[in-house]
Structure 1
Amino acid sequence: MRKASLLLWIAMMLLAASCVPTNKITYLQESKSQVVDSLSYVRKLPAPYRLQVGDVLTINIRTAVDEESIAPMFSIAGGATADDGSGNPYYTGYNVDTRGEIRMPELGKIKVLGLTTDEVRMKLENKINSEYLKEVAQLYITVKLAGLRYTMVGEVSGTGQKVIFRDQVNVIEAIADGGGVPVTGDLTKVKIVRSYPDGVRTHIVDVTDLDIVYSPYYYIQPNDMIVVDPLPQKALGTGTTGLSSFTTVLSILTALTTAVLLITR
């Protein structure tokens, strides 16, 4: 009787340890302590991204004055400045080199490190207007990042580098676009590894908490790395669902019972 109770106690402990609580795998949960509106608003827009070494820009230059002879002067051969998504931007775009500069036909080296895309656009407009156009013309320049690149590793459905062709992406959208996180992934401690001019820092966010929308790390930046650690249940290897956990525990209990019976005999 005592042995049976011991086996039952062990089985209950294994079953309890193998269960993944829903609050660990549910995104954007509202606070249990206070009633909040189902709609939540971000308090402020994220700060504009400032260019770093390794970024790739797509630049499109057009002008209403003699466009056929002026605009192509500043374009890489092969239509690199076309903002139509064609071609690989790594080869057709403008790479920010280790000096923080891009090289453009006719314009030469342009310092862009630490600037926003809007600041780069204004810098190009001023340079072209002052050096190549005799009078102020209708100059149209667009400067964009060639996709928002980030990397996903850890307990995720799809690891590797991802690219989203949008200007603004939050961490939940990035995780979803990267394939999502299985139930064995810990959503309460998602790491965002981010590069800064003075080095690399790691930030931890809880994507199960609705208040993440107020976090300064809610929106990812180019070259971010998203790391998801596994839950302890993954290390136990007892299954990802209640049924699989029960089946595993039952198998362990059966093996223990058989071993005890053999030993006592």
Structure 2
Amino acid sequence: MKKFFFVYLIISLLSVSCIPNKDLVYLQKGNEKMNSIEINPSNTKPYRVQTNDVLSITIKALDQKLVDIFTPSTTGNQNQNSAQSLYFNGFTVDDHGNIRIPVLGELNVLGYTTEEIRTTIEKRLLDEYFNTQARLFVNVKMAGLSYTINGEIGSTGTQVIFKDRANIMEAIANSGDITFTGDRKNVQVIRKVPHGFETYYLDLTDADAVNSPAFYLQPNDYIYIKPLRQKSWGTGTTVMQSVGTIMTALSLITTTILLTRNL
């Protein structure tokens, strides 16, 4: 009976301490064969600029000297494409939703897409300073997708992805992936919106996560990966680690019992 009890105890502990494979695999679709995932169109709408966003604005023309006055002078390496250079040389949206462009002055961009901002700048330049023969070319982009990630992730902190669009899977991969003890079923995303903050919870083991409004990143998203219970139990993340921990505990208990009987 004692042997049976110990075997039952080990099996019970293993069943609750090890992390199942289904909790580690991303974007599962049950037992169905998944040929494609249908994404809700409402989740792929263009991003609209908010306060504290940083924009990168480039203006070019046939005679570049004529348009250089509309862009701030850059310091250091002009080809440097980093978050630091964009912070100092980009256009930051202030608390009133405005950016300040040399000569043009203040321009309200709050709630506009980058394409709408580009059209507005181009129209003002043509109406007030140039004609169509100048061959103006205006390019407006977000100065990278900045996000902060914490918790059970390979590399915590603030990261920047230099893409127009990126999803949370790319952010996680860019930060070293979720650790074995990270809860992929309850990933928290806190997002700044015009009226405050919104919180989303994503189950990244479910393929339907792609339809969440938080699946695609927005600038300044905060992502938190919660720890699994196995981490606080300290029993190990794999079967071998758990067996080793349990055997060590049983050996300690057995030794304690034997020493107590001999006293």
Same fold (TM over 0.5): yes
- SS of residue in 1 equivalent to 2:260: helix
Q: CA deviation at 1:8?
A: 4.3
Match of 1:123 among 120, 123, 128: 120
For structure 1, the residue ranges without an aligned partner over 5 or more in a row are none
Q: Which whole-Å CA distance do the structure 2 matches of 1:249 and 1:220 have between them?
A: 42
SS at match of 2:34: coil
* Alignment equivalent of 2:88, drawn from 88, 91, 95: 91
Residue in 2 that maps onto 1:74: 70
Matches of residues 94-243 of structure 1 in structure 2 within 5 Å?
94-134=91-131, 137-243=134-240
Q: Offset at 1:75?
A: 1.1
Distance 2:98 2:116 in 1: 14
Distance 1:83 1:56, change over 3 A: farther
Does the 8 Å CA contact 1:148/1:166 hold for their aligned counterparts?
Answer: yes
Cα distance, 1:127–1:84 mapped onto 2, change above 3 Å:
farther
Aligned to 2:10: 11
Structure 2 counterpart of 1:46: 44
Supply the AA of the counterpart residue of 2:115: D
Alpha-carbon separation, structure 1, partners of 2:55 and 2:222 = 20
Paired with 1:125 and 1:141, the residues of 2 have a C-alpha distance of 6
Give the root-mean-square deviation of aligned CA atoms.
Answer: 2.1
Q: Percent identity?
A: 39
Once residues 94 and 28 of structure 1 are traced to their aligned partners in structure 2, the CA distance between those partners, rounded to angstroms, is: 37
Cα distance in 1, alignment partners of residues 11 and 227 from structure 2? 23
Cα gap change, 1:249 to 1:188, in 2 (>3 Å): same
TM-score for both structures, normalised by structure 1: 0.90
CA distance in 1, matches of 2:234, 2:189: 26
Equivalents in 2 of 1:83, 1:59: separation in Å? Answer: 14
Could you tell me the TM-score, scaled by structure 2's length?
A: 0.91
Question: What residue identity is the alignment partner of 2:81?
Answer: G
Task: List per-residue Cα deviations over 1:184-232 (Å, max 9, x = no partner).
Answer: 1000111111001111111001111112222222211110011110111
Contact 1:60 1:142 (C-alpha < 8 Å) held by counterparts? yes
- Of 48, 52, 55, the residue aligned with 2:53 is 55
Counterparts of 2:223 and 2:88, CA distance in 1: 26
Q: Match for 2:68: what amino acid?
A: P
Q: Which moved more, 1:144-153 or 1:238-247?
A: 238-247
Q: 1:39 to 1:83 in 2, by over 3 A?
A: farther
Query: CA-to-partner distance for each residue in 1:147-197, whole Å, 9 max, x for gaps?
Result: 110011011111000011001111111101111111110001111110011
Q: What's the offset of the Cα at 1:5? A: 5.0
Aligned partner of 1:31 in structure 2 is: 30
| 1:223-263: CA deviation from partner (whole Å, max 9, x where unpaired) | 00111101110110111222111101110011111122233
Alignment partner, residue 243 of structure 2: 246
For 1:6 and 1:257, locate their aligned partners in 2 and report how far apart those are by CA, in whole Å: 14
CA distance in 1, matches of 2:71, 2:216: 32
CA distance in 2, matches of 1:121, 1:253: 69
Decide whether the 8 Å contact of 1:191 with 1:204 is kept in 2.
yes
